[in-house]
With several copies, the nearest count.
Chain A
Amino acid sequence: MGQKSKVVASFAEAVADIPDGSVIAFGGFAAPGTPYNLIMALLAQGARDLTCIANTTGGAHQPRMPDLGMLVENGQVRKVVCSFTAPGRPTDVLPFTKYYEAGEVEAELVPQGTLAERLRAAGCGIPAFYTPTGVGTEIAEGRETRVINGREYLLEYAMPVDYAFLRAHRADAAGNLQFRLSQRNFNPLMAAAARHVVVEVEEEILPIGSLDPDHIHTPGIFVQRLVRIPPEPEGLWPVRRKERVR
């Protein structure tokens, strides 16, 4: 399998053909696994009317790294789907909030486990499932529920995406991916949920067959494009979190 390399030369090339109106999922939970370089390339590429899926819209911390909020600020986003449309701590400020409150962008607020499971469902051909999360809360209002074995559950639907932008630690040229520690988070789920998967890779991309088949977090069959992240300052790398924006 996979004797053809999926490596492309630049982030710009990797995102060049993303059309307006795309649904794009962005990996990452806090810094680890966030595709900073692909977000920067998408800012430059300029696709508009996007639906962007990620755990947060970002921007609560300094130094600020590329995030969904920047795509919103750049006028590229129609809708975000996140588990935070307000900051986790009310004392934080999200750059996104101003645009959301002004009605310039839509948002769908989804509990984090439901977000993960809806992506997983899309990647596994499960169109809908039941979950106990959110029952009896505002997010369940007007929604379909079902009692199973005496407990009430909420019906949730799969969340397929057009593109997944991921950041991985190691890859072979066939697109087999390994994530390091908490970098894994949403990344493998988004890979499976997407029709097209673009990955920024931290280490040198290895020849096909270099990775142990028992220890691959995302099989290469899910992946279309790989870009090696260059060293700083050309490439973007996580930095230590300094202070919170007040």
Chain B
Amino acid sequence: MSGTDKIGWSRQQMADRLAREFQDGWIVNLGVGIPTLCSNTDIGGREITYHAENGVIGYGPVLPEGQEDLHLVNAGGQNVSLNPGAAVVHHADSFGIIRSGRIDVTVMGAYEVACNGDFANWKVAGAKGGGIGGAMDLAACARRVYIILEHNTRSGAPRLVERCALPVTARGVVTLVATNLGLFEPLGEGFRLRELAPGVTLEAARAATGAALLAS
């Protein structure tokens, strides 16, 4: 295990950093795993509508054990609550909302992100089959695609790369990436460093990244 996945931001801090980019009134779709943590972030009075692939528009926090409504889950299968003004639609209408460009941002996990905006999150190397879920629809159609991932694999290989080695989820769509080392923007030729996590040096980030890193 490389050192870089233990330094810098925690998973919640990565999620916090991206959540602070959310603007008032946005419709947000959070992927399974770390992205879900974005809904824990305090972003002041900004109103966010959380949309889930299964047609829930306006869900709220995960409910504590014993208070769950077993008819209501988010895209990760967690039993969530509903916020006032919520509405439920069927799956085709839900993906209609996605495809018609009404999701202001989708936040997803990934195995790899390339500086040309490609990313890969549905198929691991050598696997037969994969897990696409709603990721390809969201990636192709959301107004912004934010990615959260550890900066390096467990064996220390970079996940921010020049070109994805794994089959991509969509091409040229990623707008912002949070890793444990900081906040990055794919710029085509490389990643622009927008922010370093505390205790992370530019040199360390550069060494851990598989593409050019352009300091802002």
A interface residues (Cβ-Cβ under 8 A, vs B): 1-4, 29-32, 55, 61, 83-90, 97, 100-101, 107, 109-114, 116-117, 119-120, 122-126, 131-139, 169, 172, 174, 176, 180-189, 192, 208-209, 211, 213-214, 216-217, 219-221, 237-241
Contact = CB atoms under 8 A, between A and B. Distances in A.
A133 B25 CA distance: 25
Contacts of A88: 32, 131, 133
B54 A185 contact: yes
A135 B90 contact: no
Q: Is the interface of A mostly helix, strand, loop or mixed?
A: loop
Interface residues of B, number: 66
Given A1-B84, A111-B134, A183-B71, 16 more contacts: A1-B86, A84-B132, A86-B124, A109-B130, A112-B53, A112-B95, A116-B95, A124-B99, A125-B101, A174-B85, A176-B85, A181-B88, A182-B52, A208-B84, A211-B87, A238-B71
A186 B130 contact: no
Contact of B123 (A86, A116, A124): A86
B102 interface: yes
A84 B133 contact: yes
A221 B95 contact: no
B137 A219 contact: no
13 contacts: A1-B83, A32-B54, A32-B73, A85-B128, A86-B128, A89-B33, A122-B100, A124-B96, A133-B136, A137-B167, A138-B167, A182-B56, A221-B102
A124 B92 contact: yes
Contacts, number: 230
B65 interface: yes
Contacts of A116: 90-92, 94-95
A240 B65 contact: yes
A216 B141 contact: no
Contact of B90 (A4, A125, A169, A187): A187
Nearest to B101: A125
Contacts of A139: 132, 136
B85 A111 contact: no
Interface of B: 25, 27, 32-33, 47-58, 65, 68-73, 77, 79, 82-102, 123-124, 127-137, 140-141, 167-171
B84 A180 contact: no
Given A85-B129, A89-B33, A182-B54, A219 B87 contact: yes
A148 to B, nearest CB: 13
A100 B140 CA distance: 28
Nearest to B57: A219
Nearest to A238: B70
Contacts of A216: 87-88
